[in-house]
Amino acid sequence: MRPESDIDNSLGSNGAIAYKAILDGTMVGGAIVVVDIERKHGSLDLLYVRSGEQGKSIGKRIWQELERRHPEIKVWETCTPYFDKRNIHFYVNVCKFHIVEFYHPRHPDPATPNDFIGDGGEGMFKFRKDLEII
């Protein structure tokens, strides 16, 4: 679970949009994205599926809806803790992101606030999905 301060930092970013996923009248998940229309860049800061709802393709449907709602975005990036195998599987195998960098204490992400504690100091994989037609 991400600490509240990490979520607040995401929501306070310029271009932040929060979404909630509703299925049969029940909130089953949500996401926070930060979009930069000029750069055609998007950051997936948070995607979550409610406890008890995992394994039903809800995360995949949330991601597909985010891409559908933001066709102007040509590059998406996100991060997840290195130890979270389920998330790594989801981003690489389901959403088709690529791992592009590994952040850890000796190679920190320069864009991460000093008070970020979402990875527990263990390290983060950075993922990128490039939708540009080459």
Q: What is the pTM of this model?
A: 0.83
CA 95 – CA 78 distance, rounded (Å)? 11
Nearest to residue 10, comparing CAs of 120, 113, 121, 98? 113
The answer to whether domain 4-130 has CATH 3.40.1350.10 is no
Q: Per-residue pLDDT for the chain (134 aa), expressed as one digit of tens each?
A: 456 777 888 888 889 999 999 999 999 999 999 999 999 999 999 999 999 999 999 999 999 999 999 999 999 999 988 888 999 999 999 999 999 998 877 777 777 666 555 556 678 899 999 987 54
